[in-house]
């Protein structure tokens, strides 16, 4: 975050929290789009979205490490991305289970 990260408005770990939140929302919005298009979602599709989310996070970190010289790839960022994807995947699975239980 450069000098912005040294501001008194931010705390240690703020960057990781943002990574987690962005990937949480990314997976939720992607799943929401598929649910609305297909009138539902299957468990394999949920895990495919989760895999694509982790893959996207890894791709970003690899690009930052090797292509963009003003950025650096960080394992901590990838871990935070993966935690966000996992949180969203868990949320979607819980909601899917709750909705199918309510219909029965």
pLDDT digits (tens, 9 = 90+) for 21-47: 999 999 999 999 999 999 889 999 999
- State the residue range of the domain holding 90: 15-98
3-state secondary structure 16-66: HHHHHHHHHHHHHHHHHHHHHHHCCCCHHHHHHHHHHHHHHHHHHHHHHHH
Total domain count, the chain: 1
Q: Residue 68's pLDDT is what? A: 85
Would you state the structure tokens that stand for residue 91, as one six-digit string? Answer: 């949320």
Q: Give whole-number Cα distances, 13 to 5, 17, 28, 73, 97, in Å.
A: 10, 6, 23, 16, 33
Whether 93 is covered by a domain: the verdict is: yes
Q: Residue 15's pLDDT is what? A: 86
Whether 86 is covered by a domain: the verdict is: yes
Whether 2 is covered by a domain: the verdict is: no
Whether 3 is covered by a domain: the verdict is: no
State how far the Cα of 92 lies from the Cα of 20, in Å rounded to an integer.
Answer: 16
Answer whether 23's CB lies under 8 Å from 33's CB. Answer: no
Answer whether 84's CB lies under 8 Å from 24's CB. Answer: yes
pLDDT digits (tens, 9 = 90+) for 44-101: 999 999 999 999 999 999 999 899 877 788 899 999 999 999 999 999 999 999 988 8
Please determine, for residue 7, whether its predicted confidence score (pLDDT) is greater than 90. Answer: no
Q: What pTM was estimated for this model as a whole?
A: 0.87
Q: Residue 31's pLDDT is what? A: 95
Whether 74 is covered by a domain: the verdict is: yes
Whether 55 is covered by a domain: the verdict is: yes
């Amino acid at each position: 975050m450069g000098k912005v990260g040294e501001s008194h408005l931010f705390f240690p770990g703020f960057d990781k929290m943002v990574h987690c939140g962005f990937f949480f929302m990314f997976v939720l919005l992607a799943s929401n789009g598929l649910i609305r298009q297909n009138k539902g979602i299957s468990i394999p599709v949920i895990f495919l979205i989760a895999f694509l989310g982790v893959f996207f996070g890894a791709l970003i970190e690899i690009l930052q490490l090797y292509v963009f010289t003003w950025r650096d790839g960080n394992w901590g960022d990838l871990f935070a991305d993966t935690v966000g994807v996992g949180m969203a995947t868990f949320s979607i699975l819980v909601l899917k289970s709750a909705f199918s239980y309510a219909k029965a």
